[in-house]
Structure 1
Amino acid sequence: MEFIKSNKGGRKLIHNGYLYIKRSSNKSSIYWQCSHKVKFACKALLTSDLDCAVVKSVSAHTHDPDSSEVKAEKARQQINADALRSRATPGQLVFDEMARQELDVRVKMTTACSLKRNINYKRRQKQPPVPQTLEDLIFEGEWRETYDQKPFLLCDMHEATDRVTIFATNDGLKNLCAADSWFMDGTFKSCL
């Protein structure tokens, strides 16, 4: 038995080329139903122990196992994991993973738009809450760096109700030093 995460964060079980989702459990067993219950009217059930180490019983499916679908589910899971580790664009993450897959697997992976939308959703879940006051606006960890982990927050000064925050890279500062003219803009009033 092997497990992968579903898009909603639950577990999907892979057994003999079939995908199962958890239906229910009791004090001694977990009951899994075929993930194609609706698509193929498949009523197959798998019963495992609570540790999912032993398959107690499996009923017959109304369809054949689909290794391409299992590979597609694993590829989607890989894209979701990469989305949280990498700062690559959603399009790049999807392209990279699809390029590693065979054609029959790519066909089963849903649309690129859907995969990109899911990446954006996963990333939004990781973002800090929207600040309601200046005191709530805190820059920590990755929010102080560029994508390639170079310092980006140069200054964050607080005085009473005023705040000055300056973002720049060393390369950007070098460009400013070499420039003949500077043009500036700023946010002088915010709704925080």
Structure 2
Amino acid sequence: MEETCEVVVSQKGFHKLRVRGYLMVKEKCAGERYYWCCDHRKSLYCGGRAISCFRNGQHVLQKFVDHNHAPVASAPYVATIVEEIKTRARSTADLPCQIVHSCTTSAPPNVAPYLPSRAALSESIRRVRRAERPREPRSLAEVAIPEELQRTLTGEPFLISDLAVEDHRMLIFASKADIEKLSAASLWIMDGTFKTVPRLFYQLYTIHGALQTSRFSIFPLVYILMTGKSEELYRRVFQELGDFGERNELHLRPSVIMTDLELSAINAARTEFPDAMNKACFFHSSQCVWRKIQSCGLASTYADDENFSLAMRHLTALAFLRFDEIPEAFEELKPHLPEEAHEVTEWFEVNYVHGQIRRRLRNGVVVRSPPLFAPTLWSVFECMESGFPRTQNNIEAWHRRWKSLLGKAHVGVYQIVEEFRKEQRHVTNEYERLLRGEPCPQGKKQDIRREQRLQNVIRNRENRLNPMDYLRAIAHNLHL
């Protein structure tokens, strides 16, 4: 009966043959015949030899010369576990400690003592990953995306544009299928993150599309590495996306674009997508009010006095009115706001409602400049009516997940592009899963109940004769 031998992979990636409990390294081959010598031929001066014939994908033992030492039964199993660790290192973005823990805890108890130390295994993971990636650039001039990283994991073109604007550089990543989804999305949500971006760039800017499956589902569709955040840079990004769409007979015409309160992005979106309605994220608007309360030294009052807290939440409740109703409602609300919060009230009036007073005419008319953030921008009434989200909280959750996937801050350029490719594949799979009718993930019960209460208040608005009652009902369901 023929004796077949198992091939195992060494820690350095070489093939070894397990022969009767011994690990043997290849010495030479001639056609189908392979010649092997003992793995310890130098350390133990062992003269053990073997000859195998490779047939039908297997090594069949032809000749065996005894060794001068006993076999180590655990060695092949150790080699197999180490190779599994390296395979995980190549195929996942898991932290070294996660990979080592997962693979070593599954090792048989009689093999575990013979495994390399955790530090050695972690270093082997880092060594494998360094070898898999090109050397990270040290300057923008050195950034040259390798051909492989310019395509998705399924081989489609992924790098839309490598754009230089004066001293700035922008890399835009998306597949044609992603832009098709973006063209079908009536709502775009755009946001930047700074924690995971490579140090050569200023921010990672992402464009997410709200796609209608069983309900609105929000997916990241475009990934942009940017060295700045000026209006001109944002305009060039939007122009590049529009040009790509036209080349592929896709029309990018969002109905609503939601951003944080970043004027450069807002103005660029207004210029390049003039038919879209620009909306600010309600969460970011609320955070601005909270930071102003803090800067005025009223944080402890807000925390200790529920009446004060509820009164200040009336300011953010104004967002649930139609934009043209907000100025009049604010004037009605002002007398009911706490006197100690006068500075907050004045700041809100100047920046969010009426604008700065430029002069007072003799006839009593007050001339004002437009507010920095007009009610048309931060009113969420239209979003509530259309069923669109009023916040970027889905995007904030994505940022937390993204940070967890990368495992550390300020990763390398090529490393983050590789993660873009993996995330693009993940989004494609998730979209297909929802298309076939899989239920969307449910939010927290308390958030669902609060949303139901808000919807009830809005639907019953006409039954509330006093507008202040409406704002108070909304404010009860908000927090800063």
State the 1:125 CA deviation.
1.1
- For residue 7 of structure 1, what is the amino acid of its counterpart? Q
Q: What are the equivalent positions in structure 2 for 1:161-180 lying under 5 Å apart? A: 161-164=167-170, 166-168=203-205, 177=281, 178-179=283-284, 180=287
Matched with 1:17 is 21
Output the CA distance in 2 between the equivalents of 1:54 and 1:139.
42
Output the CA distance in 2 between the equivalents of 1:174 and 1:38.
66
Does structure 1 residue 118 correspond to structure 2 residue 155?
no
Correspondent of 1:136 among 119, 136, 143:
143
Gap runs ≥5 in structure 1:
146-152, 183-192
State the 1:48 CA deviation.
1.8
TM-score by length of 1: 0.72
Q: Is the 8 A contact 2:18 2:24 kept in 1?
A: yes
Matched residue SS, 1:53: strand
Matched with 2:93 is 87
Output the CA distance in 1 between the equivalents of 2:165 and 2:146.
17
Over 3 Å counting, the alpha-carbon distance change for 1:161 and 1:107 in structure 2 is same
Does structure 1 residue 43 correspond to structure 2 residue 47?
yes
- For residue 92 of structure 2, what is the amino acid of its counterpart? S
Gap runs ≥5 in structure 2:
153-158, 172-202, 209-217, 219-257, 262-280, 292-480
Over 3 Å counting, the alpha-carbon distance change for 1:14 and 1:26 in structure 2 is same
Q: Is the 8 A contact 2:38 2:47 kept in 1?
A: yes
Q: Is the 8 A contact 2:37 2:50 kept in 1?
A: yes
Deviations 1:84-118 (CA, angstroms, capped at 9, x unpaired): 11111111111111100123312211111111101
Residues paired across the two proteins, number = 175
Q: What are the equivalent positions in structure 2 for 1:55-94 lying under 5 Å apart? A: 55-94=61-100
Over 3 Å counting, the alpha-carbon distance change for 1:28 and 1:4 in structure 2 is closer
Q: Is the 8 A contact 2:28 2:35 kept in 1?
A: yes
Over 3 Å counting, the alpha-carbon distance change for 1:135 and 1:91 in structure 2 is closer
Deviations 1:121-174 (CA, angstroms, capped at 9, x unpaired): 1001111333365473438887999xxxxxxx9x97432542246415669x98
State the 1:9 CA deviation.
2.6
Over 3 Å counting, the alpha-carbon distance change for 1:174 and 1:40 in structure 2 is farther
Does structure 1 residue 102 correspond to structure 2 residue 108?
yes
Output the CA distance in 1 between the equivalents of 2:45 and 2:205.
58
Higher helix share: 2
State the identity as a percent. 25
Deviates more, 1:70-79 or 1:37-46: 37-46
TM-score by length of 2: 0.32
Output the CA distance in 1 between the equivalents of 2:42 and 2:147.
46
Matched with 1:159 is 165
Correspondent of 2:12 among 8, 12, 34:
8
Over 3 Å counting, the alpha-carbon distance change for 1:143 and 1:66 in structure 2 is farther
Output the CA distance in 2 between the equivalents of 1:65 and 1:107.
17
Matched with 1:190 is none
Matched residue SS, 1:103: coil
Matched residue SS, 2:121: helix
Correspondent of 2:35 among 24, 31, 35:
31
Over 3 Å counting, the alpha-carbon distance change for 1:114 and 1:135 in structure 2 is closer
Matched residue SS, 1:122: helix
Q: Is the 8 A contact 2:8 2:76 kept in 1?
A: no
